[in-house]
Amino acid sequence: MLMGISLVFIVLAIGLSWPRFRLIFLAQSNAALAAAPLTMVASAVNLCAIGLAVAEHGLLFGGLLIAGGMFFAKIMQAVPSTPGILASALCLAAYIEMTMTVVA
């Protein structure tokens, strides 16, 4: 049961941090926005969530989780904001806490 809920948290962490993370790679984005501290936090959360998804669930299922997060970001059409990045960091923390309790 906990493992299923933790998968939702990793997908949410990827999906909520993705809009701000992808600003780094867009040509039309503002350089100051791409170098902002909030973008750095979103990048750290996104890369950590992607790394954990692949490391803990394998390449195939981890790739499905990453695709699910990107799909969630696409359907939400979310504007990158501070509450969204905070929520993604909290989702990542919840995922880490839940997987640590499952393993321990």
Structural domain harbouring 68:
2-103
Q: Please tell me the predicted confidence (pLDDT) of residue 31.
A: 75
Q: Please tell me the predicted confidence (pLDDT) of residue 81.
A: 81
Mean pLDDT of 73-96: 88
Whether the per-residue pLDDT at 50 is higher than 90: the answer is: yes
pTM to 2 decimal places: 0.88
Q: State the pLDDT confidence band at 91, using cuts at 50, 70 and 90.
A: very high
Q: Structural domain tally of the chain?
A: 1
**Number of residues in the chain:** 104
Q: Please tell me the predicted confidence (pLDDT) of residue 25.
A: 85
